[in-house]
Every structure is written in structure tokens, then in C-alpha cells.
Structure 1
């Protein structure tokens, strides 16, 4: 029971940290909210409008973070389904990034950095560091799935509130919509796997 309480508190702390770093205000969604309203309810504060090169820069940063966290997970996790999920994150985020890589020259565009992409990178690095430096008694399988829930919720919020609404080109908007569908599917799967563990948070 104590381990379950510790795990729940840790998930909430990490969630608040991730949302704060991404500039999102409001509390974390409950797990059931992600399936009922996958776009989330958090609101982004006013910020300078992103250019489309900056938008694709944010997406690439999300991909890199997911791949790095999954690579770390494969080094420390033991549960077969968690490991399959981590490999799926590597494969699917790499494929999405490769698709973006092929599309950008066709529309004469390059990625660009922005304060938002820097925030996303900082958050991803923080989550990866948490995975690499788990405290004694922390379950790496549970920890990775909790981080995946947090990161995919945050990615959905970014897509819905900051990226998709600011994309003008049809190619970019279509790519973002398809990315959103994949992120939502990843979140729902992460929630399902997380519930398999007895110390699942309320």
C-alpha cells in the first residue's frame, strides 16, 4: 500500500512539473479523462504565434524525447508488455520523424527552434533523467508507463492548443492531425498497461 501511495504521489509531481515546463496551467487530467476527452482541458497561456518551421521543430523534439525515453526503458524494464510498448514508441516515432524528414524538402521548409521546443526538450530530458535515476523501491515498469501517460497527455495538449490551430499548409496540418491520432492511441495504450499493475494510482 505504501508503495502505491508513493507511486501515485510521484506521478502527480512529475505531471505538474511537465505541465509547468510546457507552460500549461491547471491540474493534471485523471486517467479516465484522457479517454473521455482525449484533447485534455488544460489551457496554454498567451504566447507568440509559432511559425510552421517552429511547429515542426516542436514535433521533432517530441519524437526525440519519446525515442530516448523508450531506449532507456528497454535497458531497465522487465515486463514483456512494457518492453513491447517501449519498442513500439521507438519504431513509430522514428517512422513519423522519417516521414517528416521526407516531406519538408517537398514543401521547401526546414525545422526551426523556439522557446516551446526548448521547453519540450527540457521536459523530455527531465523525464529521461528520472527513469535513469529511480529511487530504491521504484518499479521501472510502472515508472516508465507513468512518464508515458504524462508525456502523451502533454503532447495532446500542445497539438490541440498550440500546433494544429497555427498550421496553415495542408501538408503540415494533415501531418499534425495524423500525429495527434497516434499520440492519442499511445496514451490509451499506456493507460491500459499502467492499470495492470497492482499499485495503480486512483
Structure 2
């Protein structure tokens, strides 16, 4: 199961990364991707908050839900203030498909297998988001306030990644 998850994640991540290199992103597309990433994190966290068996995994899920709801709210405020209309793109669609596939796989797990898969997904998703913030989103953002928000988001994502890795190592 772990290999199947890793192969799916690699396939979707590769498709997302390849597509991202094909053309530069704009603020509208980046805003939609950030919204999709927050939605994916919130959905996965809701599931983990209820279904995880390990206390630390449940606490992490609750923390992720709070953090990503906060980021979602701040993103919407900044996007509105800067006249950025989130726009669907091949990247946001790939992210949505990846999130759905991950959630579907997670729903099939129970107990420690659920905890391990959730934390694997969290490490993978946060690592990919961190890479995309550094290599694609921040460099391509044009509105200063939005770019600053992406840089602040990057710091949170980096912390989330370290927390996820620490919990994953304990399982």
C-alpha cells in the first residue's frame, strides 16, 4: 500500500511539476492553487481528526485545520484587496485530483495504517508546496502584498513540514 501511495504521489507530483515548467504562472492562478491547497489540507485534517488513532496525529490534524483555515481567510482577504480573481489552471486541477486521490486512499485505512498514511501524505504535500512556493509561486507573483503573503505562507509551510516529519518518525 505504501508503494502504491508513493507511486500515485510521484505520478501526480511529476505531472504537476512538469505542467508548472511549461508556462509561467500568474497571480490569479497562484491564488487558486493556494486556495486548493488550503482546501485539501482542511479536508484531510477533518478526516484525520476523526479517524486517526495516535493522539499526536489527531493534534497535528487539528492544528493543520486551524492553520489552513487561517491562511485561507487571509488569502481571500488579500486576493480581494488586490483585485486578484482566482483562476483555474492545469495546476489547480492537478492539485484537486491529487488531493481527491489521497483522500480516497486515506479513507480505506484504519488504525496505525491510517496514521502512517496521513503523515506520509502530509510530509509529501507540504514538501511539494514548499518547493512550489520557492520555485514557482513567489518568483512569479507580481503584486507586492500577495508576494509577501506567499512568503509568510512559506514560513508556515516549512514549520508544518518539520512537525509532520517529526510525528512521522515516531510512528
What is the TM-score when the length of structure 2 is the normalising length?
0.91
Please state whether the residue corresponding to 1:98 is helix, strand or coil: helix
Is contact 1:149–1:190 with CA below 8 Å preserved after alignment? yes
Equivalence for 2:117: 143
Deviation at 1:78, TM superposition (A): 1.2
Deviation at 1:10, TM superposition (A): 4.8
Greater relative CO, 1 or 2 (CA 8 Å, sep 6+): 1
- Equivalent residue for 2:24, pick from 24, 35, 49: 49
Deviation at 1:115, TM superposition (A): 0.7
Counterparts of 1:189 and 1:137, CA distance in 2: 20
Tell which structure's C-alpha radius of gyration is larger.
1
- Residue deviations 1:61-96, cap 9 Å, x none? 100001111111122111111000001111000001
Mapping for residues 150-165 of structure 1, pairs under 5 Å: 150-165=124-139
- Residue deviations 1:132-188, cap 9 Å, x none? 123x78611111101101111111121122211101111111011111111111111
- Consecutive unaligned residues of structure 2, counting only runs of 5 or more, are none
Write 1 or 2 for the structure with the bigger share of helix. 2
Is contact 2:20–2:136 with CA below 8 Å preserved after alignment? no
Counterparts of 1:186 and 1:10, CA distance in 2: 24
- Residue deviations 1:15-65, cap 9 Å, x none? 4234224235xxxxxxxxxxxxxxxxxxx7632222211111111110000
Q: CA RMSD, aligned part only?
A: 1.9
- Equivalent residue for 1:13, pick from 7, 22, 35: 7
Equivalence for 2:79: 104
Mapping for residues 24-103 of structure 1, pairs under 5 Å: 24=18, 46-103=21-78
Is contact 1:70–1:89 with CA below 8 Å preserved after alignment? yes
Task: List structure 1 segments (4+ residues) > 6 angstroms apart after TM superposition.
Answer: none
Please state whether the residue corresponding to 2:21 is helix, strand or coil: coil
Counterparts of 1:49 and 1:124, CA distance in 2: 23
Counterparts of 2:80 and 2:20, CA distance in 1: 32
Q: Kindly tell me: are residues 190 and 171 of structure 1, through their superposed partners in 2, closer, same or farther at Cα, counting changes over 3 Å?
A: same
Q: Kindly tell me: are residues 146 and 130 of structure 1, through their superposed partners in 2, closer, same or farther at Cα, counting changes over 3 Å?
A: same
Q: Kindly tell me: are residues 45 and 120 of structure 1, through their superposed partners in 2, closer, same or farther at Cα, counting changes over 3 Å?
A: closer
